[in-house]
């Protein structure tokens, strides 16, 4: 065989210069991120593999999350409901149970009423004719038996889901407010600021306005109310506590709120509006000047009269001289 002849190769050998140029080109392609050898599929396969992993990660990030189960959400829902109930009971409305017959037939024993606790937060004060719930001002419920609720009843009462377990609360109708003069003679009507009240729409049938407990006339102190039950012959109201501090009146700061709705039983659903007799003309008219003030005004007038006459006499003399 001749020297330099190749076996099985038809192409000529590459020269050293060509090999050097090829190596440089491969390094530049690699630096640019391109495949060094198109014939080598290793880089392509690696790229394809990386791309597939990226797609799977993207699908995992964009996929909707699986919602929590109902049982995991239930404690949160219960907690929110309890907080809302507590807020409503504290600031908005609260249920109270009627324990006696003192407000028949407007309210009956066992009725549940909803009491508005919101308006007092904005400075609202009790008004004539309203049915209000108030804390015992002192001594009204002395000696009355008190039930012993269980723990569950106390908790439900605390958050407002059951009628109040507070047994020191009473419910009556406001008859007079601070500054009013009120009285009732035996066999007569309640007289408020000189006006007779027509109470036939709300007092218990057969009851008399003040029964065997006439009172007054008396003036209700400022920021206080005079209250009476609608069942006059079966209500230990302001009439029966005149020997206590306040003379039978209730301070406004003892009022929990106004009863606005009978919520239970459903057969007795009803609102509790103010009777029309409390809207009669002249009921809010300012009373005549008190006797003491009238006396002082009379003395002042008598003392001022000579001065006025003397001044008029001087003016007349001056006018004549001119």
Residues annotated as catalytic (active site), given as ranges = 102, 172
- If phi > 0 it is left, if psi is from -120 to 50 it is alpha, else beta; for residue 67 that is beta
Q: Yes or no: say if 255 and 120 are a contact pair by the CB < 8 Å rule.
A: yes
Among 166, 273, 101, 231, smallest CA distance to 239 is for 231
Instruction: Give the count of beta carbons closer than 10 Å to the beta carbon of residue 20.
Output: 11
Residue for token digits 């003399």? 317
Q: Can you name the residues that pair with 146 across neighbouring β-strands?
A: none
Report d(CA 18, CA 26) in Å as an integer: 12
137 class by beta-carbon count within 10 Å (0-12 exposed, 13-18 middle, 19+ buried):
buried
């Amino acid at each position: 065989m001749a020297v330099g002849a190749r076996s099985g190769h038809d192409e000529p050998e590459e020269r050293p210069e060509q090999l050097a140029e090829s190596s440089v080109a491969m390094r530049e392609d690699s630096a640019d991120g391109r495949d060094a050898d198109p014939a080598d599929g290793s880089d392509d396969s690696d790229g394809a593999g990386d791309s597939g992993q990226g797609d799977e990660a993207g699908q995992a990030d964009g996929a909707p999350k699986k919602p929590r189960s109902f049982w995991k959400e239930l404690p949160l829902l219960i907690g929110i409901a309890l907080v809302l109930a507590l807020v409503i009971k504290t600031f908005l409305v609260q249920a109270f149970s009627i324990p006696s017959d003192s407000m028949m037939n407007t309210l009956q024993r066992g009725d549940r009423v909803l009491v508005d606790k919101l308006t007092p937060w904005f400075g609202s004060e009790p008004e004539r004719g309203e049915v209000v719930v108030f804390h015992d001002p002192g001594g009204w419920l002395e000696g009355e038996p008190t039930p012993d609720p269980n723990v569950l009843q106390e908790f439900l009462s605390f958050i407002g889901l059951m009628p109040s377990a507070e047994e020191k609360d009473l419910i009556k109708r406001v008859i007079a407010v601070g500054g009013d003069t009120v009285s009732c003679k035996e066999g007569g009507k309640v007289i408020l600021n000189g006006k007779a009240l027509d109470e036939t729409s709300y007092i218990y049938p057969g009851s008399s306005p003040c029964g065997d407990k006439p009172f007054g006339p008396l003036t209700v102190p400022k920021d206080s109310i005079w209250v009476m039950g609608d069942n006059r012959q079966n209500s230990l109201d302001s009439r029966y506590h005149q020997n206590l501090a306040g003379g039978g009146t209730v301070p406004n700061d003892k009022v929990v709120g106004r009863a606005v709705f009978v919520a239970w039983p459903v057969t007795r659903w009803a609102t509790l509006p103010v009777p029309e007799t409390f809207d009669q003309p002249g009921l809010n008219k300012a009373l005549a000047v008190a006797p003491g003030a009238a006396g002082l005004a009379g003395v002042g007038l008598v003392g001022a009269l000579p001065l006025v006459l003397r001044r008029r006499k001087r003016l007349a003399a001056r006018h004549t001289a001119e």
